[in-house]
Amino acid sequence: PHPSHFSPGDEDFQENHERQKHKGKRRNGERPKNKRENQRRQRSSKSVQGIREESQSTTERRERRRRRRGKEGEDEEEVNNDGEVRPELLSPEELEKLKEAVDEKKKLIQSLRGKPWPMKQKLVSLRESQLFVEKYEGALGKGKGRKLYAYKVMMTKKWKKFQRDFENFKTACIPWEMKIKEIESHFGSSVASYFIFLRWMYGINMILFGLTFGLVMVPEALMGRPYGSIPRKTVPRAEEAGAMDFAVLWDFGGYAQYSVLFYGYYNNQRAIGWFKFRMPLSYFLVGVGTVAYSYMVVIRTMARNANESGVGDDNSFNFSWKMFTSWDYLIGNPETADNKFASITTSFKEAILEEQESRKDDNIHLTRFLRVLANFLVLCCLAGSGYLIYFVVRRSQKFALDGLENHTWWERNEVNMVMSLLGMFCPMLFDVISALENYHPRVALQWQLGRIFALFLGNLYTFIIALMDAINLKRKEEKVVKYNITMWEASLYNGTGPENSTGPPVTIHPADVPRGPCWETMVGQEFVRLIISDTMTTYITLLIGDFLRAVLVRFLNHCWCWDLEAGFPSYSEFDVSGNVLGLIFNQGMIWMGAFYAPCLPALNLLRLHVSMYLQCWAVMCCNVPQERVFKASGSNNFYMAMLLVILFLSTLPAIYTIVTIPPSFDCGPFSGKNRMFDVIQETLESDFPAWFSKVFSYASNPGLVLPFILLMVLAIYYLQSTSKSYREANVELKNKLQMVTQRLDNFVLLTSYGSDFILNA
């Protein structure tokens, strides 16, 4: 006798089943149903652990009862007192239904988090579903291969638990989370977004550091030839006297220059160490790999951000969003709250004005004229700063020719100082000029960011052009030195004896060998100096502009004519966009210089680490929350886009130098080759079997490469057009939806008479 109908997933399934079973079987009077009911009620009011203990005890009780019944020689029942179902006695359809029920309960457990029920209800239904699943899932597995099934189920559960624990562990491992939370609660999400960006950059630099340190610096240090063994690894005799001076070391000359920190130290030996580590190949591939990794990470983050923002071009809910999403629930500080109230009010007033105002045509000509004037002034500024940098670089080259000792500290560090100072003062100038333009603040901010971006870019490229001039100079010098060396070698052999070729080899100390000017090390040094001075400038500006200012305002306030805190200097605000741009350009310089100075990622890692702590402290100590709170969400992809542009632009000069300029003849891992990328060719020829290089030569045939490029262009075009058509389809569907709702609404209104029929969609 099987139960004729039961509703799967029903808790009463058990009860119905039992009742059917026990209809005609009355033993010992009253069936202890009440006890069972009480048990069930008790079970559902205790905790999961308690339940597990209880179910263990009920299993024991079940076993005992079964044994007792067996002794008494009763008929075998399908169901014992506790309502356990033996599925080998159920028909296949019932088995199916049972399986469905279990799956449904599992789905319910998964989706429970998203249901808007009160906690108690969720807990109750969670316990019920879990009980049900536990009871019947194991049972389902009985019969065929039940051990395997039960084992699988147990492993899945353990795996899920492990995954959950791992996720929790990962979240706990995120560095600086509490610091950022504190800043977020004081200053809102826009300022915190800068620190989150900083932390993300730190992660990238960590990987870059790992690559350069582990695959370039450490092998050369451990397995390459030691300091002093060959000319390129030794400080020249002329410089030996001052090689240990702090001033020289700070300038990255002396012992710092002839170390693994710079390109020039590396030997061009093809394989070093006992396991034949291919040093030049590794150097080249690490250089390419850092760029490739950076591209991949930036594009992946952009794609993720784009997905999250969804169809974010909507402007149709302007006021609704202002009303329901402008209050930042993270604010936990009365000062910030005050500022937020003020900024919300201002933003509403602005929006109302924009809505009410019809375009006034009176002074449109004046506005246009002023805007053109402002842009002209800005262009003059940019041109002026570009020329200033070029001039200063030229001067520094002249100083270098005279010998650096004859000049003051300022003259020696002129280039870097000028660049940093320009980066500090020009944005302020742009800010003043933009007052002429009378734009909407958001538009004005975008113009401001664009101009600062152009300024930094212009400065950077002027710097690079000046650097290229210096490189060309060094290469000319190199030719001269090469010639001199042949003369010098000849003079050596002439000195020992009349027979030039059979004279004993003369041992010269490596420090005495005349050296070529290593232009790659020079480039690396320039970048390192630039980064250091930029860092110093930032920190000093921070300490003076923020900390000193705050101290002055706080302590001079009560003996000053006007209110310092409300009036002129007051406390500074945290300049999110300026700092983010600074960070982005800093990273651009790292990408540019990392090929010639493997120490740059390490330096940057240190700088970011210190910056995080210093700026966190400075923000909490000296800054006040912004008046106009900058929305963080929309700008995430904007900053990523700028980072991508900078990445592209910074790798261009490095690629140009690698591809066109022959490496120095006596320093670096590529010395002696015609071009730096010849190392790839060399590896293919010597390290790979012969057929490989044949295949590669076929693959690099223009006849094959061009069609491949054409194919990729076509693929991009195809994907672009499909995405456009999807977007259009989306818009059409939206419109259709609105139309249908309208139509339905009208229909309902027509077919009803009475205004109290309201459509609930």
Partner 1 sequence: MDLCFRSLKAQTWGINKPSSQRSSSTHIRLFYRYRDLAPQLVPLDYTNHPDVKLPYELIGSMPELKDNPFRQRIAEVFSEDGEGNMTLDNFLDMFSVLSEMAPRDLKAYYAFKIYDFNNDDFICKSDLEKTLNKLTRNELTEDEVKMVCEKVIDEADLDNDGRLSLEDFQHMINRAPDFLSTFHIRI
List interacting residues with partner 1 (CB under 8 A): 46-50, 109, 112-116, 118-120, 122-123, 126, 164, 168, 172, 181, 184-185, 189, 309-312, 314, 316-321, 323-334, 336-337, 341, 344-345, 348-349, 352, 355-356, 631-634, 738, 741-742, 745, 758-761
CA distance 324 to 552: 40
Closest by CA position to 221, among listed 602, 672, 511: 602
**3-class secondary structure, 180:** helix
User: Per-residue DSSP letters for 113-153?
Assistant: GGS---HHHHHHHHHHHHHHHHHHHHHHTSSTTHHHHHHHH
CA distance 182 to 179: 5
> What is the nearest approach in angstroms of partner 1 to the Cβ of residue 46?
8
Residue 274 or 329: which CB sits closer to partner 1?
329
> What is the nearest approach in angstroms of partner 1 to the Cβ of residue 195?
14
Angle between helices 119-140 and 48-72 (to 10 degrees): 40
Residue 499 or 756: which CB sits closer to partner 1?
756
CA distance 215 to 286: 7
Six-digit token string for 230:
């060959």
Residue 34 or 49: which CB sits closer to partner 1?
49
C-alpha atoms less than 13 angstroms from C-alpha of 290 in its C-beta half-sphere: 35
Count other C-beta atoms under 10 Å from residue 154's C-beta: 11
Amino acid at 125: S
Task: Find the distance separating the first CA and the last CA of the chain, reported in whole Å.
Answer: 48
CA-to-CA separations, 43 to 31, 46, 58, 505, in angstroms, rounded: 20, 6, 11, 96
> What is the nearest approach in angstroms of partner 1 to the Cβ of residue 610?
26
C-alpha atoms less than 13 angstroms from C-alpha of 579 in its C-beta half-sphere: 22
> What is the nearest approach in angstroms of partner 1 to the Cβ of residue 693?
53
> What is the nearest approach in angstroms of partner 1 to the Cβ of residue 758?
5
> What is the nearest approach in angstroms of partner 1 to the Cβ of residue 200?
16
Amino acid at 561: C
Residue 250 or 726: which CB sits closer to partner 1?
726
Residue 126 or 302: which CB sits closer to partner 1?
126
Environment class of 759 (CB within 10 Å of its CB; exposed 0-12, middle 13-18, buried 19+): exposed
Residue 123 or 684: which CB sits closer to partner 1?
123
> What is the nearest approach in angstroms of partner 1 to the Cβ of residue 47?
4
Residue 44 or 557: which CB sits closer to partner 1?
44
Residue 249 or 337: which CB sits closer to partner 1?
337
> What is the nearest approach in angstroms of partner 1 to the Cβ of residue 39?
18
Helix extents (H) in 594-701:
600-622, 635-660, 678-687, 690-699
Environment class of 18 (CB within 10 Å of its CB; exposed 0-12, middle 13-18, buried 19+): buried
User: Per-residue DSSP letters for 435-473?
Assistant: GGT---HHHHHHHHHHHHHHHHHHHHHHHHHHHHHHHHH
> What is the nearest approach in angstroms of partner 1 to the Cβ of residue 137?
18
> What is the nearest approach in angstroms of partner 1 to the Cβ of residue 632?
7
CA-to-CA separations, 271 to 49, 680, 699, 730, in angstroms, rounded: 63, 14, 27, 58
Residue 48 or 432: which CB sits closer to partner 1?
48
> What is the nearest approach in angstroms of partner 1 to the Cβ of residue 84?
25
Which residues on adjacent β-strands are paired with residue 623? Answer: 572
Six-digit token string for 139:
């049972």
> What is the nearest approach in angstroms of partner 1 to the Cβ of residue 325?
4
CA distance 365 to 367: 5
CB contact at 8 A, 552 and 629: no
> What is the nearest approach in angstroms of partner 1 to the Cβ of residue 741?
6
Residue 330 or 645: which CB sits closer to partner 1?
330
CA gyration radius for the chain?
38
CA distance 299 to 306: 10
Residue 190 or 586: which CB sits closer to partner 1?
190
Residue 98 or 629: which CB sits closer to partner 1?
629
CA distance 176 to 684: 46
CA-to-CA separations, 174 to 192, 296, 422, in angstroms, rounded: 15, 22, 36
CA distance 36 to 31: 9
CA distance 697 to 712: 21
Residue 183 or 298: which CB sits closer to partner 1?
183
Residue 221 or 330: which CB sits closer to partner 1?
330
Q: Is the torsion defined by CA of 80, 85, 91, 93 positive or negative?
A: positive
Residue 634 or 672: which CB sits closer to partner 1?
634
Residue 310 or 505: which CB sits closer to partner 1?
310
> What is the nearest approach in angstroms of partner 1 to the Cβ of residue 760?
7
Residue with tokens 């652990």: 49
CA distance 584 to 197: 10
> What is the nearest approach in angstroms of partner 1 to the Cβ of residue 334?
6
CA distance 692 to 685: 9
Residue 76 or 308: which CB sits closer to partner 1?
308
Count other C-beta atoms under 10 Å from residue 449's C-beta: 20
DSSP-derived secondary structure letter, 228: T
Residue 159 or 321: which CB sits closer to partner 1?
321
H or E, element range at 479: helix 441-496
CA distance 242 to 583: 35
> What is the nearest approach in angstroms of partner 1 to the Cβ of residue 124?
11
